[in-house]
Amino acid sequence: MQKEPTVRLTAIRRLYEVSARMGAGRSLAETLQAVVDGVVDGLGFGIAVLNLRHPDGKFEVIAVAGSPEAREALLGTVSAADIFDAEFAIADKWGGLRFVPHERLPEGEVVGWVPDVPVSDDPAAWHPLDALFAPLHSSDGELVGMLAVDLPEDQRRPGPIHRELLEIFATQAGLAIDKARLTDQLLAEKTRLEASETTFRMVFEGAGNGMATIAFDGSEAGRILRVNDAFCRITGYAAAQLIGVPMVDFLRDEEPAQSRRELEELARGNRTYRFERIFTRPGGNEIWLGGTATIVDQGPGLPRILLIQIDDVTARKDAERELRHHAAHDPLTGLPNRRLLQHRFAAVLERTRGSGRPGAVLFCDLNHFKLVNDGYGHEAGDRALREIATRLAAEVRHGDTVARLGGDEFAVLAEDIADEDLATLITRLETAVSRPLPGITIEVSTSIGTAPITPDSTDLDALLHSADQAMYDAKHRRD
């Protein structure tokens, strides 16, 4: 029961790691290489190839990671605009991804470089001629490149979690490439024309993502100087409501110390950094803004300004939060799983050692539940488990944790509980479970065993084992 949450938690960690690496690139070339390096180093693929789409529609391989042979064979190759059309016509659609299984390729036709790896007879194994593509789009939906990945680390066709992870990463990569390309254009223009106001205004106002300049030095430091239309659209404010107002007035900064360090690094010459902050829109609703901030030196004697580029990344943050929830909760009942129970136990144990007041672990096993599955089917059994989980959670004290351990077994973590209160809690739980289940005539009950949490306790598994044994004693007494 724990395998999928564990895989999801690993996926979250990988996503954070590779996103940080990708966001560290300051130029387009650095960003492109960070994308393919992130796929190989963090997303579980042996090879990654990035085709950048040029304004004429042609694709050029700009970055390769994972294989020197692939890099030598592919780097710098230019392909026609329709290079992917034939393959995509026979591809499976995995959300935004496109998977081309080798068995659908026309006989004798092989496009591109093929890794020299053994071929497995397992139909779920990755074949050297299989191809998986992730189209990369800018914030306004323009196709900016194509990411091709090969050789999954487990040598199998990616499952739903890794597909979702790659798709989220591809979304961020497309935005990062678009921003890096725009940043390259802005900085190159500044170098050539000494920040020509006319040129800057054209790029600034025409940008598809939100842009603003903020005073970095002087008496106006921190105040918004200029915004483009996209910035107003994303934030919900008119330009007149933004200009002259300190940017921090709109932000809910959950890590002010980190923000100060970032500004200090900028002042010391670290000229670009990425940020994600909660922004309050009109009416009080909040969104997540993600972007970059770059110091622009306007010349001798003139105050420096911050050029920031922002996008609304609320959807991605919501997806990450959902992944975190799935990693720590039982997918059927929504209760905490064993991993989250262990985390909360560690906190309870620390407080117990400080106060000296004991807590308890309760092990709950359902009686006659197998008859529900046998007589009514597993779908009805799942509904019954969800109902019982709701009842258990409603009967515990505020601050107690109800977790599902698997099957029809539950655990309760109760902090600082006296013996008489523990007896009352057990009675409440037994009574709640024993109430008739909707649409089910079988009488389901629960047997509960307990183990005390004392300052000398060390291991949750040992306590659960003790409570399990106590539960069996209680069950036998019932019988």
Catalytic residues: 408
Among candidate residues 437, 364, 431, the one with its CA nearest the CA of residue 401: 364
3-class DSSP state for residue 270? coil
What are the backbone angles phi and psi of residue 396, rounded to the nearest 5°?
A: -80, 165
3-class DSSP state for residue 286? strand
- Dihedral angle computed from the Cα positions of residues 103, 105, 107 and 112, in that order, rounded to the nearest 10 degrees: -120
Among candidate residues 126, 144, 146, the one with its CA nearest the CA of residue 134: 146
Residue type, 357: R
What are the backbone angles phi and psi of residue 318, rounded to the nearest 5°?
A: -65, -40
Alpha-carbon distance 181 to 265, whole Å? 24
Alpha-carbon distance 63 to 76, whole Å? 9
Alpha-carbon distance 269 to 276, whole Å? 21
Taking each continuous run of H as one helix and of E as one strand, the counts in the chain are 15, 17
Alpha-carbon distance 167 to 347, whole Å? 36
Residues 6+ apart with CB under 8 A from 243: 224, 225, 226, 227
Among candidate residues 409, 451, 448, 414, the one with its CA nearest the CA of residue 431: 448
3-state helix, strand, coil in the chain (%, to 5): 45, 25, 30
Residues 6+ apart with CB under 8 A from 86: none
Alpha-carbon distance 396 to 378, whole Å? 27
Torsion sign (Cα): 161, 167, 172, 177: positive
Residue 286 token pair:
């909040």
Task: With beta carbons less than 8 A apart as the criterion, state whether 468 and 407 touch.
Answer: no
Task: With beta carbons less than 8 A apart as the criterion, state whether 339 and 401 touch.
Answer: no
- Please name the residue that has the structure tokens 């990755």: 126
Residue 53's Cβ-side half-sphere holds a number of Cα atoms within 13 Å equal to 19
Provide DSSP, 65-94: ES-HHHHHHHTT-EE-TTTTHHHHHT-EEE
Provide DSSP, 278-315: EEEPTTS-EEEEEEEEEEE---TTS--EEEEEEEE-HH
Alpha-carbon distance 55 to 112, whole Å? 22
